[in-house]
Copies of this chain bind each other. A is one copy, B any other.
Amino acid sequence: MKKKLKELNDITAELYDIGFAQSLLGWDRETYMPVGGAEARGQVVATLGKISHKKATSPKVGKLLDELVKYAEDLDPDSDEARIIKNSKRGYDQRTKVPPEMVAERIMITNAASMGWREAREKSDYSIFQPHMEKIVNFAQRFVDIFQPYDHPYDVLFDLYEPDMKTADVIKVFEDIRPKQVALIKAIAEKQQVEDKFLHQKFPIETQKKIGAELIAALGYDPKNGRQDVAAHPFSTTIGYGDNRITVRFDENFFNPYMFAAMHETGHAMYSLGIPKDNYRTAIYGSCSSALQESQSRLWENLVGRSKPFWEGYYPKLQEYYPTQFGNVSLDEFYKAINIVKPSLIRVEADEATYNLHIMLRLEVEVGLLDGSIKVKDLPEMWNSKINEYLGITPPNDSVGVLQDIHWSMGLMGYFPSYALGNLISASLWEKMLLDLPDMDDQIRNGKYSNLLGWMNDKIYVHGSKFFPQELVEKITGEKIIGDAFIRYLNKKFGEIYNL
């Protein structure tokens, strides 16, 4: 049986390698690929996708799994071996249900859609993206159909990012936190507002880059194992063991977008790089789920990067870099400004108090698209009306409205809820971490992040994808994913900032 398991692992290793090649092809498409290479790139990605799918769904894998699943019945269900077999079986069952033509179709659709989205977003012209989006939604509907029966059609998509979680789970959590966040936002709106206009000045890109490179290395992202490049949308991607790269974008006239995206993506990168080599290229390698990934990115972006202790330590240095911009801005003013709560249009730039509302909107829209109650052609109108309902503001154009996110163009429907869940998990982890490392504020103030990283490593990274997200969160915090810690965190932080 050891031999059979090795055979399975060898095939999984090849699938990982093909996946890493695809990651590089994807990274390159977003960073350095000349535009004239787009069509050929689509074919290369489609070919690799086809080869990968064929290999992953081969009868040989099915036969190996039939035997290994029986063998696993006598193993400790939490052993690496048992989990490798369980995850492999799960993946095999999911993939064998999808016909190879649909796999190739998905790649061709999303490749064209990515280019279409980029152009549509640049020109703020939804009509360029609409035909792509029609295909994406139609594909998602056909994809979901394959997996009948289900409790909720959205489950099929959501489960791709949060294994074993249900739409009902996330709706329940959202229903719990929504009124609490709305109440907080309302209370804040009635108070003296925060001034942040000094964040909107000229910040030379070269200086931003320099600060960022220094800072992300200080957090623990080793340049030997990564790099930052410019792309339209910040992301983090693993190209192989020891190589996780982030992308960022610069705004010369606004301090926040680069700085916090860099810390956000660094959180992803450190998680990915922290997954141990022992089980490299097996079915328990990789991160637990998108929400767990987001818990790390949001933790470094917000619980560290937007915290008072962090800036108590780092602000004097920042002032040296930006003497004219921040020389006359006190630490307190700066801290409040980067934590301003103000309903805004762009999800990735939203403050912590309103962020989850952006996600709730997207969940509603995606569910509506999937069940046909929202038509693709009506999307901009629907978007604008919903964001008005949620946040009381209206996008001046689709570029900062329905076209702002890359996800749909990549076929990532079902992904958005993970962002909000990540926020919730990050706060739950933080409360738990403070019990073990009560002087964390001091450590952060002194620029010492290694214990924090070590804690995350021991609790999360070390497990790779061995556990499902609800299992892992429960294992660490004693409870499944809930919003309590996050709401406590918001109320405390913004209570202080806004004198609530």
Contact = CB atoms under 8 A, between A and B. Distances in A.
Interface of A: 13-14, 17-18, 20-21, 24-25, 28, 32-41, 43-44, 46-48, 50-51, 222-227, 229, 239-243, 245, 280-281
B14 A225 contact: no
Contacts of A240: 37, 40-41, 43-44
B17 A44 contact: yes
Contact of A40 (B39, B50, B241, B245): B241
19 contacts: A13-B47, A14-B50, A18-B47, A20-B40, A21-B24, A21-B25, A21-B44, A28-B28, A32-B227, A35-B224, A36-B224, A37-B225, A37-B243, A40-B240, A40-B242, A40-B280, A43-B240, A43-B281, A51-B51
Contacts of A243: 33-34, 36-37, 40-41
A12 to B, nearest CB: 11
A34 B241 CA distance: 11
A32 B247 CA distance: 13
A22 to B, nearest CB: 8
Most buried by B among A18, A47, A50: A47
Contact of A242 (B17, B34, B224, B242): B34
Contacts of A223: 34
A17 B40 CA distance: 8
A490 to B, nearest CB: 37
A226 B24 CA distance: 17
A50 to B, nearest CB: 8
Contacts of A43: 13, 17, 240, 281
A494 B116 CA distance: 55
A32 to B, nearest CB: 6
Nearest to A224: B36
A47 B224 contact: no
Nearest to A20: B44
Instruction: Identify the 10 closest CB pairs spanning chains A and B, nearest first.
Output: A37-B243, A40-B240, A17-B47, A36-B242, A36-B225, A40-B241, A36-B224, A17-B44, A21-B21, A20-B44
Contacts of A50: 14
Nearest to A273: B36
Given A34-B227, A36-B242, A36-B243, 11 more contacts: A17-B43, A17-B46, A18-B47, A21-B25, A32-B32, A33-B243, A34-B223, A37-B239, A37-B243, A39-B242, A40-B240
